[in-house]
Structure 1
Amino acid sequence: MTRTRGGTTGELVDRLERLVRIESPSRDADASERMATQLSEWWQDAGATVRFERTEAGASLVAELQGEGDPLLLVGHSDTVWPVGALEGDVPWSVDGDIVRGPGVYDMKSGLLVMLGAVERLRGVPRRSVRAVVVCDEEIGSPTTQALLRRCAEGVSGVVGFESPHPDGALKVGRRGSTRLRVEVQGRASHAALDPEAGISAIDELVDQLLRVRAIVSDSTLPSEVLCNVGTIGGGGRANVVPAQAQAEIGLRFVDSVAERRVLAALDALTPVRPDAVVATRILSSRPAWRASEGDHAFVDTIVRAGRSLGQEIAARPASGAGDTNLLGSLGLPTVDGFGPRGGGAHAVTEHASLTSLRERIDLLEALLTDVPA
């Protein structure tokens, strides 16, 4: 069995299996409570003061460790995209040499152990103050925990997110903003043959509105590219009835806040093409664009130096996917994400993580925490 600083590989695997076997899909409040309880036990053993924050989505955990200077905020989540039963079905737990598999093993239960592994090594050692927050609803956009994230960010020196890195292990600095919204249309039903003039087709109206959406997101005067995907369309019921209702769910990705504000304002101002039709735009979830700042790059430089002290070469670049660091980075806090271990298959049956990379990330965070600012 490989001995690592702060424990054996077997001990890491045992902990990871315990977390993975708590199947914790978003909005499963009982499962999030079990995750928070297990994590709380380990954080308290590491010397942290722990509290729970509960919302309708479940239990989130906040842990505080006193040290030098303003705290460094460590950010993670306990929920996964996998339904209960995935462990016994498509995504069984397994260990094959360096590779571990299971629901949530990569996104991001292994990242939670990076946090713990580093702080456990540093009991009684001079180090930075630490605040950790593990939210219960990140996979659905953190709709109930964004206020908690904002509170946890008050007075911190920087933010580290423990989502998965780029495939080559590079950290993430800057993320596209992500907004899910629904365009809803209310028309008026009538017989499609006997009295078509009395009806207002919600589907026809929706089609025209989606053409407007396409024009808005492709406006050549926008400062940056906007990605737009119409993910679902619904409405109507029978071919002989003018449909009274229709809706489309749309996913948008933004590089910068200027394009984000302009596009969302234009979509909010959509007006009906047909008299007496009603059009409404409803935001389902939204994470702001986080464009890397000078402070973010300076923070990356600090991490690069910590990595070189260990013989690790650390790189960082922007990412397309969104997460909780979008909010925190957009607030102007020095922020980096992707501090979880290498692996792959997030949200897929091939989900897996590397134990070697898990140990390397623990080493890197330990080095970062012991680099106490003067």
Structure 2
Amino acid sequence: MLMRFTAAIAFLLAGTAHAQLTDTEQRIVAAVKQRSPAALELLEQSVRINSGTLNPEGVRAVGEIYRAELDALGFKTRWIAMPPAMKRAGHLVAVHEGGPGKRLLLLGHLDTVFEKGSSVPLWERRGDRVRGQGVNDMKGGDVIMLEALRALRSVGALDGANVEVMFTGDEERGGQPLKVARADMVEMGKRADYALSFEGNSKHDGVDTASIARRSSGGWVLKVQGKAAHSMGVFSAQSGYGAIYETARILNAFREQVIEPSLTFNPGLVFGGTNVSYAEDTATASAFGKSNVIARDSEVLGDLRYLSPEQGERARQKMRAIVTTGNLPGTSATISFSESYPPMPPTDAGRKLVEIYSKASQDAGLGRIEVLDPSMRGAGDVQFVAPYTVGIDGLGAQGRGSHTDDEDLEIASIERGAIRAALLIYRLAQAPAP
């Protein structure tokens, strides 16, 4: 399958090696530019609705706005509900069937990290920028996708295209189990020749970038046990070192022995004492202990990110060995692992897809695109389909402060992003059918 992708991409690169914009492509660009004020209005309409992941009504309301846009573009739309126990809004799916040709999957998400009751303004215009809830991550990217499709439709370039769209409702806090929450996306990915994801675009050293690799998102829980006893006996053969000293030994050994490029393992929460507990629903830990008592229990909650399955397995093996061997006297420890988002390793086909994207951008006078270092971006939905197709991410808007109270967006990036995306979709759709 990878050879087929590579051959198709080579064809595209050869066909555009010295090309500028064709007449049709010039009309596509003009259509995007004509819609720029309306695109901003569409963005404002969707951003003014709180759609935190745990606000399913708000998520569905944003979905209905985008659904109406897709219906008007000739897509067949449907809403995929999730099981009630998952407590998630579900996903919006849209399909456009064309003639023979490449199949494209476009990905966005409706939810934001700003839950209902957030003090962050929904929409605050600041000159050529906008601050607001999810304005950059990723309603700006959602609007870019819709405007690109609209421009293609306006010049007849969408008629023969095979495009599937999925706007997920729980990207920021994935519903559990993720195998269920992403089952439909995986099936769509298996049908696609290319997957284009519209998470925020970022600059590196002043140059716009795109992502063809994203590290996994998962975690680990370290539990350490010692002997509760009077502190006067600490370090003795009878009382041992206690759970907190053993925890410190393990974490320092991780730092010294496990680090390698593109691999991170962050201990985000550490708590220990005579008694400890952790509340998952509030992400809150509590501990009881005294300075003159040797700690009996300690726990660490950590994050684990790696670029390939092989790298992840190496890390887990090393960490398990450190946890279970060389324990300080009077202590024992266990570690468990979980994975939410699978890794998306870089591929040659992905690099060539960025070349096509970069060429389209340069032909439109918008500058080159370079591949972003995966350590500079978190996890995203495109990772679920990466094993089955050629994926690219970062086609969305440019902004600052994603996930923070100061999240904002550069308004001009909506037009730039829509032009680039429309040209990329158009050129990919022109490739010969497999």
Q: Distance in 1 between matches of 2:146 and 2:112?
A: 19
Alignment match of 2:41 (pick from 14, 17, 35)? 14
SS at match of 1:13: helix
Contact 1:325–1:335, Cα closer than 8 Å, also in 2: no
Structure 2 partner of 1:23: 50
Query: 2:211 corresponds to which residue?
Result: 172
Q: Conserved in 1, the CA contact under 8 Å of 2:70 and 2:146?
A: yes
Q: Give me the whole-angstrom Cα distance separating, in 1, the residues matched to 2:382 and 2:256.
A: 26
**3-state SS of the aligned residue for 2:300?**
strand
Q: Between Structure 1 and Structure 2, which shows a larger proportion of strand residues?
A: 1
Mapped to 2, the partners of 1:244 and 1:128 lie a distance apart of 63
Q: Which structure's residues are more often helix, by fraction?
A: 2
Contact 2:190-2:389 within 8 A present in 1 as well: no
Q: 1:129 aligns with which of 162, 167, 191?
A: 162
Amino acid at match of 2:268: G
Aligned to 2:18: none
- The count of aligned residue pairs is 365
In structure 2, do the counterparts of structure 1 residues 330 and 216 end up closer, same or farther at CA, with 3 Å as the change threshold? Answer: farther
Determine helix, strand or coil for the equivalent of 1:349.
coil
Q: Does 1:313 align with 2:313?
A: no
Structure 2 unaligned segments of length 5 or more: list them. 1-29, 274-287
Out of 286-295 and 182-191, give the one that drifted further: 182-191
Per the alignment, in what secondary structure is the counterpart of residue 138 of structure 1? coil
Q: Distance in 2 between matches of 1:268 and 1:146?
A: 29
Taking the aligned partners of 1:127 and 1:185, their CA distance within structure 2 comes to: 60
Aligned 8 A contact 2:171 2:381 in 1? no
Q: 1:230 aligns with which of 259, 267, 275?
A: 267
> Counterpart of 1:160?
196
Asked if the contact 1:6–1:120 (Cα under 8 Å) also holds between the matched residues in 2, the reply is no
8 Å CA contact retained: 2:220, 2:335: no
Amino acid at match of 1:156: A
The offset of 1:325, in angstroms, is 5.2
Do 1:36 and 1:61's aligned partners in 2 also have CA atoms closer than 8 Å?
yes
Q: Which whole-Å deviations, capped at 9, do the CAs of 1:170-221 have from their partners, x for residues lacking one?
A: 2223233333322233556566679995899433332333234334423xxx
Alpha carbons of structure 1 residues 148 and 276: separation in structure 2 relative to 1, 3 Å: farther
Alpha-carbon distance change, 305 to 77 in structure 1, aligned in 2, over 3 angstroms: same
What's the secondary structure of 1:174's corresponding residue?
coil
Q: CA 1:326–1:44 in 2, change beyond 3 Å: closer, same or farther?
A: closer
Distance in 2 (CA, whole Å) between partners of 1:200 and 1:129 is: 64
Name the CA distance, whole Å, in 2 between partners of 1:15 and 1:173.
29
| Equivalent residue letter for 1:263 | A
Confirm whether residue 280 of structure 1 aligns to residue 319 of structure 2.
no
Tell me which moved more, 106-115 or 130-139: 130-139
State the match for 2:246 in structure 1: 205
Specify the SS of the correspondent of 1:109.
helix
Q: How many angstroms does 1:301 deviate by?
A: 2.2
SS across alignment from 2:59: helix
3-state DSSP class of the match of 1:73?
strand
Alignment of 1:344 onto 2:374: no
- For residue 105 of structure 1, the aligned residue among 131, 135, 143 is 135
Distance 1:34 1:186 in 2: 49
TM-score (norm 1): 0.85
Deviations 1:221-249 (A, max 9, x none): x6x35233221112321215544432112
- The separation in 1 between residues aligned to 2:378 and 2:175, in whole angstroms, is 11
Structure 1 partner of 2:16:
none
Secondary structure of 2:172's aligned partner = helix
- Aligned equivalents of 1:333 and 1:230: distance in 2? 33
Q: Within 2, Cα distance between the matches of 1:185 and 1:356?
A: 52
TM-aligned CA distance change 1:42 to 1:187, over 3 Å: farther
Moved more, 90-99 or 338-347: 90-99
Structure 2 residue identity aligned to 1:63: A
Give 2:96's aligned residue. 65
Aligned identity (percent) is 24
The answer on whether the counterparts of 1:159 and 1:334 sit within 8 Å (CA) in structure 2 is yes
- 1:35-74: CA deviation from partner (whole Å, max 9, x where unpaired): 3233222222222122223251332222111124242111
SS at match of 2:211: strand
The 3 A distance-change label for structure 1 pair 164 and 235 is: same
Distance in 2 (CA, whole Å) between partners of 1:296 and 1:345 is 27
Alignment equivalent of 1:83, drawn from 99, 115, 119: 115
Contact 2:90 2:170 in 1 (8 A): no
Q: Which amino acid counterpart does residue 35 of structure 1 have in structure 2?
A: V
1:190-339 alignment, distance < 5 Å: 201-218=242-259, 224-236=261-273, 237-239=288-290, 240-268=292-320, 270-271=323-324, 273=327, 277-283=332-338, 285-319=339-373, 320=375, 321-324=377-380, 327-328=383-384, 330-331=386-387, 333-339=389-395
| Alignment RMSD | 3.0
Letter in 2 for 1:61: L
Cα distance in 2 for residues equivalent to 1:172 and 1:118:
19
SS in 1 for 2:247: helix
Q: Distance in 1 between matches of 2:127 and 2:331?
A: 65
Give 1 or 2 for the bigger CA radius of gyration: 2
Distance 1:187 1:148 in 2: 46
Give how far 1:330 is off: 4.5
In 1, distance between residues paired with 2:183 and 2:241? 41
Matched letter for residue 159 of structure 1: A
> Aligned partners of 1:185 and 1:308: how far apart in 2?
55
Superposed CA deviations along residues 12-56 of structure 1, whole A, max 9, x for unmatched, are 222212221221223333332223233222222222122223251
In the alignment, the residues of structure 1 paired with residue 425 and residue 262 of structure 2 have an alpha-carbon distance, to the nearest angstrom, of: 37
